[in-house]
Structure 1
Amino acid sequence: MTAARLAGAEMLDVGGYARISDVGQIGDGRDGREGVIRQREDVYDLAKLKRVNVHRIYEDNDTSAYKRKVKRKDFEEMITDLASATISGILAYNIDRIARQPRDLERLIDIYEQARRPMIFATTAGDYDLTTADGRFQARIYVTIANKFSADAARRVARQKLAEATDGKPHKGQRAFGWRDAEHVDEKEAEILRKAREDILNGKLIATVHREWAEAQVRTPQTPAGKTISYTSVRYVLRNPRLCGYRAYIPQEHRERSGRVDPVEYLVERTDGTPIVGKWETIFTPEEWRELVDVLDSRKNTGKGRKVGTTVTKRLLTGIARCGNCGSGLASAMYQRGTPSYEKYGYYYLCKVANGGCGTLSRSGPPVDDYVEQILLGHLKKQAQVVTPAEREDPELEAAKAKLKRINSDKAEARQLRASDMLSLSEFAREIRRLEDKEQELKEKVSTLSVTPIRASSAASRIVREWDKFTVDMKRAEIMRSIEAVVVSKAGKGGAQRGKFRPELLEIVWK
């Protein structure tokens, strides 16, 4: 309803809305509220002109009305108050302060159309009677224009950011974990990252790293106040190409559509397929970073059950120990509370019929674990005493890496042929898909070969020295590098339960 139709009526309670999209550049001397303060003044002046009472100013500072995933807290409260008749209208400096997405305007239109009371929708640029077809048409045109302006601005900003990425310039905004600013490493945080990399290569899970970081109150600049670092943040930080100097660029629309995405998939490359190297200090070498990413990729869910190496495996030899009768991998279970076996051992290994086993074998867990640990450490100690020549990379691994390099060259050549119109779009799409499928296959092969390297004497010595500090998943990884299986044989008529631990009933199958 227009102001003219409100003449003589009781003064309406309305909501004033003020919003600005940014708070200015850091260090520019502004506090970021100048824009909304001016808008608040304009709202009060407009309220005097329209002879209405401002019930409340709804303010969303540093908040976009264009980005779809941005939640405007005060805007939502204003809509709720409008629908409940707490307020009977909206005043703002301009309609683009209220809405830059047509769907937000439509929510307001629905309320105005269904209201059975005097309403007002006014800005300093003019009024919009949302109860009439002409008023709604006019408002929709202005919001559509505002949406187009925002889309054009977003496209220009995206193009500028891509150009900066291609030039190797550091990211703007908040610093990344591991750096004290855009260019210089924070040695304390860098050391945390280096240790995490070493632990993960030794078999530690990201879930374990996350728990340790949370307990140590490790926080990134992006961690919300009062919160602990999240699992996804730990994974993101460890996979960040910035660690080795590679420049990534994730388009804003991808972030808004998918949330936090894998930065590894958004490396900025030259026309020959080689990554752009940024202009900042690094924490890892490219080889160290790639090795870490390959190990993490090798643990991804295969689609056939739980993820490899998740914290579901709590016991040292679950799946590694095998039934000597049927060959099935042994599961683990707890003894019944209050029994002598529970007090002495706690858990045991068993061959489960539900897992395809024979169900005829069980063995107390701790003695088996201790025995296998002692045998493995003795084996590693012997390796540590042997002076070995310089470690040579596996020929199969070398061949796989060489094929990966050729695929990168083939992809770059396909891009050049497409750019020269020597390949049709369909031919280019098929070729890129074929190369990417082959690339993924080779990456998985490289990951598998990389996580089972030849153990040098220095590595064996370190493992023996640090064994007591290893987590269960790290110990399992070391066991699986050297041991194929631990075969547990039946003792016969309770022999293993009544007598002492009998190591002759265990057979270690070495790789």
Structure 2
Amino acid sequence: MTMLTVGGYARISDVGHVGDGRDGRDGVVRQREDVYELAQARRAHIHRIYEDNDTSAYKRRVMRKDFEEMVLDLRNGLISGILAYNIDRIARQPRDLERLIDIYEEARRPMIFGTTAGEYDLTTDDGRFQARIYVAIANKFSADAARRISRQKLADATDGKPHKGQRAFGWKDTERLDEQEAELLRQARQDVVDGKTIATLHKEWTARGIRSPQTPAGKTIGYSSVRYVLRNPRLCGYRAYVPQEVRERSGRVDPVEHLVERTDGTPVIGRWDPIFTPAEWGELIDVLDARKNTGRGRRAGTTVTERLLAGIARCAKCGSGLHSAVYAKGTPSSERYGYYYVCRTANGGCGRLSRSGPPAEEYVEKAFLDNLKGQSHRAQPASDEDLELAGAKKTLEQIEADKAEARQLRADDLFSLREFAREIRRLEDKERDTREKVSALSETVVRAGTAAARIVRDWENYTVDMRRQEIRRSIEAVVISGAGKGGAQRGLFRQDLLEIVWK
């Protein structure tokens, strides 16, 4: 009898957990031993053991690398059969078995398909029938187990228990913070709120070699991973749960859409240390969601364009928004300025205006920063300059005078006790309301001044998109006029041709 060359297959779905005393390969090692014993009994030669450790044969989106290699070798005739511990090691989805059946049916050579539990002759109707029954049973067991596990995971999520398995970015384990990563996330949140794009943030993290726990070895964190990390409700302590069937159908999903809620509609709070407050995380999500809609002329998937005045500069002739373009290389304008703003007919404009970019941007930046400096300076003497605040403080002085007068009238027996008590209570109520008004007005003025001072201080460290975000909060538009025929002078920037429309 000719000795057939076959492939041995070993697979297990679970490698165990760290600290449980298992090395993660116990199951496949035992299966390998069984396969070699089976090959000896069948007088078959093992070409190689195809091994998929910690790999499901039931989940549809899971790709079994060695299984696919085994199928390819079987189809190409490199091996003439498969040996395994049990048929459910090879297939738990009928489609995988049918792929093997097609190969066995079309083969024009002796083939074997054996397990320690029995053999299945896939070249005959009875053998295929038996194999299909066992795979269908294995599929049903997996489906039942998946349903029980899914229900248990939902119960754990509703109870606020942390996710099991690999740690999340920002934490040492399921509960304790990794302070270095947590601080990185805090700064990232503030930068994004201030206008920095995810693309810019990803570029910075990549340059610093930052990796997430899920980043493959030798690689840096991906763009989608940065976005996913920042949208994770776990950051503020909220528990999310994405059903396994949703993950398998859609891959990576937005965790914001899968918050676990209590019966009263409030989010479930998890049992771990949060990095943000719910308000901080909510502000971040609002900013990211607001950037999803792309405007006219923007590339799909982007939220801002590259130039500072993009979306702000407008043509004085037709009112259309200006777009940026680069000067032809080798020209004096390219050497001096690099790029310019232009009104394009292709974008609905008149096509009759262009202006060098850097001088216009420098002028607008200086005007914007001068305006902020004025706000920060006004924050100190605001109590004297703000009419509403000054009026409220004057009211407080008058209330003190009225209370003193009421006490004097009572002392002179010109106020009855009832009248005196009623008047004092009225004045105290008015005093309380006025003091609250003074406090709110003072805080508003100081807060505005403090924010302005912070922007001026940190301006040099802002990226282009962060600067644009701040400018758009104060400036409605920058209207640029043409110089007219013969009106332009080489090397001369005319600020009278730019008009800033403040909000």
Task: Pick the TM interval, shorter chain.
Answer: 0.7 to 0.9
Structure 1 unmatched runs, 5+: 1-8, 391-453
1:42 and 2:38 correspond = no
Q: 1:365 to 1:245 in 2, by over 3 A?
A: same
Q: Distance in 1 between matches of 2:169 and 2:54?
A: 24
The amino acid that maps onto 2:122 is: L
When normalised by structure 1's length, the TM-score is 0.84
Q: Distance in 1 between matches of 2:3 and 2:489?
A: 89
Q: Distance in 2 between matches of 1:222 and 1:243?
A: 17
**Does the residue aligned with 1:242 lie in a helix, a strand or coil?**
helix
Number of equivalenced pairs: 440
Structure 2 unmatched runs, 5+: 383-445
1:256 and 2:271 correspond = no
Q: Distance in 2 between matches of 1:309 and 1:107?
A: 39
1:217 and 2:209 correspond = yes
- Deviation for aligned residue 1:334: 1.1
Match runs of 1:360-375 below 5 Å: 360-375=352-367
1:126 aligned to 107, 115, 118, which one?
118
Q: Distance in 2 between matches of 1:227 and 1:308?
A: 26
Q: 1:487 to 1:177 in 2, by over 3 A?
A: same
**Aligned match of 1:233:** 225
When normalised by structure 2's length, the TM-score is 0.85
2:470 aligned to 478, 492, 496, which one?
478
**Aligned match of 1:75:** 67
Equivalent residues of 1:363, 1:496 under 8 A apart: no
**Aligned match of 1:335:** 327
**Does the residue aligned with 1:100 lie in a helix, a strand or coil?**
coil
Match runs of 1:232-311 below 5 Å: 232-301=224-293, 306=298, 310=302
Q: Distance in 1 between matches of 2:355 and 2:205?
A: 36
2:143 aligned to 142, 151, 166, which one?
151
Q: 1:385 to 1:14 in 2, by over 3 A?
A: same
1:480-501, CA deviations, whole angstroms, 9 ceiling, x for partnerless residues?
A: 1111110111111242343611
1:82-115, CA deviations, whole angstroms, 9 ceiling, x for partnerless residues?
A: 1111110111110000000000000000000000
- Deviation for aligned residue 1:455: 7.4
Match runs of 1:53-452 below 5 Å: 53-301=45-293, 306=298, 310=302, 313-387=305-379
**Does the residue aligned with 2:195 lie in a helix, a strand or coil?**
coil
Equivalent residues of 1:214, 1:228 under 8 A apart: yes
Q: Distance in 2 between matches of 1:220 and 1:499?
A: 50
**Does the residue aligned with 2:165 lie in a helix, a strand or coil?**
coil
Equivalent residues of 1:328, 1:357 under 8 A apart: yes
- Deviation for aligned residue 1:346: 0.9
1:24 and 2:16 correspond = yes
Q: Distance in 1 between matches of 2:27 and 2:310?
A: 62
Q: Distance in 2 between matches of 1:497 and 1:354?
A: 28
Q: 1:308 to 1:456 in 2, by over 3 A?
A: farther
Equivalent residues of 2:297, 2:347 under 8 A apart: no
The amino acid that maps onto 1:134 is: D
Percentage of identical aligned residues:
75
The amino acid that maps onto 1:193 is: L
**Aligned match of 1:417:** none
The amino acid that maps onto 1:44 is: Y
Equivalent residues of 1:336, 1:342 under 8 A apart: yes
The amino acid that maps onto 1:381 is: K
The amino acid that maps onto 2:166 is: Q
Q: Distance in 1 between matches of 2:141 and 2:303?
A: 49
1:311-340, CA deviations, whole angstroms, 9 ceiling, x for partnerless residues?
A: 761111123111111111111111111111
**Does the residue aligned with 1:57 lie in a helix, a strand or coil?**
strand
